[in-house]
Amino acid sequence: MSTIDVRVERKIVEADGIVSLELRAAGEAALPALAAGAHIDIHLPNGLVRPYSLCNAPGDSGRYVIAVLRDPDSRGGSVAIHETVQAGDVLSISMPKNNFPLVAARRSILIGGGIGITPLLSMAQTLHASGEPFELHYCARSESRTAFREQLLGSPFSGNVRFYFDDRGDGIDMTQVLGTPMQETHLYVCGPAGFIEFVRASAERLGWAHGNVHFEFFAAPEITGEQVNAAFEVEIASKSIRLTVPEDRSVADVLQDNGIDIPVSCSQGVCGTCLTRVLSGTPEHRDLYLTDEEKALNDQFLPCCSRAVSRVLVLDL
Ligand code: FES
């Protein structure tokens, strides 16, 4: 997988528990152009690889900006960025990837929850630059935890932005915001899993077409207490070998332990990087990437988080 070396030009505290990093090419090569909704995978000094949305304007060439919330439940990604990474450090990143692109629309509604503002910030700047109608609804716990608030208030599209703060009891009224769905209006939502589910359920209740609702999870929901891990086996079709996946390891971990490299990025079933074909057996899908229809086919799964219902899964590896 090709990577680019970037230097951390600036690290800025954007809000309580949120820092931004401005990344610039460390070598001669220019950074590839970005499109709104894109993310990069950052290879962190502790060996973890984590995806972060780009939040600068696409025309803002020569730099990438990401923002990271310090998550106390983090498995090491956000903590490493908050505590270890400093201005001047050189990091490896992937090429930008985009699972959350803008589509042609007469009007766009952007709804961000907390740190989920990052891809929407890039989208808002893109839509403003192209003169397309949009509104941005930004929900946060409090003003002090609202990254990029000053930037948004000072932007030429500040009139399109509305803030909602939990600590003021100022909740978003989904019926008012989503109103009557129109075929040419598209909705984009990003934030924690519960927030996305709330917006998606509201859109469904109000009659929005699935194809007009676009979302990107920031992190997978917690595994519930009802989901008990059991050991199972994976068979590697090209090698005719079987490997045991213990209850406390993921398929991706077991593959890696045995020298079978598959690309992994988020490790949470969110980004789709590790998507692998299943030749036989039944996966237990635990990801947020595949649609319900795709999951029902049981011919592919996300080995970073999903497991098996059947005793054996045969993988097209
Ligand atoms: S690595 Fe992101 S879905 Fe598996």
Residues 112 and 208 in one domain: yes
Torsion of CA 81, 85, 87, 91, to 10 degrees: -100
> Which domain covers residue 12, as residue numbers?
3-94
Does residue 101 lie within any of the structural domains?
no
Atom of ligand 1 nearest to the CA of 302: 4
Q: How far is the CA of 144 from the centre of ligand 1 (A)?
A: 32
Residues 212 and 236 in one domain: no
Residues 126 and 200 in one domain: yes
Percentage of residues of the chain with pLDDT beyond 70: 95
Of the three residues 71, 94, 117, the one that is the final residue of a domain is 94
H/E run at residue 311: none
CB-CB contact of 40 with 96 (8 Å):
yes
Does residue 254 lie within any of the structural domains?
yes
Atom of ligand 1 nearest to the CA of 267: 1
Q: How far is the CA of 314 from the centre of ligand 1 (A)?
A: 19
Of the three residues 32, 65, 94, the one that is the final residue of a domain is 94
pLDDT of residue 202: 95
Total number of residues shown for the chain: 317
Give the pLDDT confidence of 200-243 residue by residue, as tens digits.
Answer: 999 999 999 988 999 987 655 544 445 678 899 999 999 989 99
Does residue 208 lie within any of the structural domains?
yes
Hunting for tokens 């700047």 — which residue is that? 125
Residues 135 and 60 in one domain: no
For 95, what's the count of Cα atoms within 13 Å in the CB-facing half-sphere? 7
Q: How far is the CA of 312 from the centre of ligand 1 (A)?
A: 21
Q: How far is the CA of 171 from the centre of ligand 1 (A)?
A: 32
Residues 148 and 248 in one domain: no
Q: Which residues contact 151 (CB under 8 A, 6 or more apart)?
A: 121
Does residue 117 lie within any of the structural domains?
yes
Task: Count Cβ neighbours within 10 Å for each residue of 203-225 and write b for 16 or more, e otherwise.
Answer: beeeebeeebbbbbbbbbeeeee
Amino acid in position 9: E
* For residue 177, pLDDT beyond 90: yes
Which strands sit side by side in the sheet containing 276-280, from one edge to the other? 241-245, 232-236, 312-315, 276-280, 300-301
How far is residue 22's CA from residue 11's CA, in Å, rounded to a whole number? 7
Percentage of residues of the chain with pLDDT beyond 90: 70
CA 54-23-113 angle, 5° bins: 30
Give the pLDDT confidence of 274-290 residue by residue, as tens digits.
Answer: 999 999 999 999 988 88
For the chain, what is the domain count?
A: 3
As a whole number, mean pLDDT of residues 285-302 equals 88
Does residue 222 lie within any of the structural domains?
no
3-state secondary structure of 77: helix
Give the domain CATH number at 48.
Answer: 2.40.30.10
Residues 242 and 309 in one domain: yes
pLDDT of residue 299: 96
For the record, the structure tokens of 71 come out as 């998550």
Residues 264 and 193 in one domain: no
Regarding the beta carbon of 264 and ligand 1, being less than 6 Å apart is answered yes
Of the three residues 175, 193, 217, the one that is the final residue of a domain is 217
How far is residue 266's CA from residue 207's CA, in Å, rounded to a whole number? 32
Does residue 223 lie within any of the structural domains?
no
Residues 43 and 75 in one domain: yes
CB-CB contact of 202 with 215 (8 Å):
no
To test the ligand 1 pocket, which listed residue (216, 265, 290) has its Cβ within 8 A of the most ligand atoms? 265
Residues 88 and 127 in one domain: no
Give the domain CATH number at 142.
Answer: 3.40.50.80
* For residue 37, pLDDT beyond 70: yes
Regarding the beta carbon of 274 and ligand 1, being less than 6 Å apart is answered yes
pLDDT band at 74 (very low <50, low <70, confident <90, very high): low
Does residue 143 lie within any of the structural domains?
yes
Regarding the beta carbon of 304 and ligand 1, being less than 6 Å apart is answered yes
Q: How far is the CA of 311 from the centre of ligand 1 (A)?
A: 23
Residues 86 and 19 in one domain: yes
pLDDT of residue 36: 96
As a whole number, mean pLDDT of residues 156-174 equals 95
Nearest in space to 157 (alpha carbons), one of 119, 185, 179, 127: 127
Does residue 79 lie within any of the structural domains?
yes
The average confidence (pLDDT) of the chain is: 90
Residues 122 and 49 in one domain: no
Regarding the beta carbon of 220 and ligand 1, being less than 6 Å apart is answered no
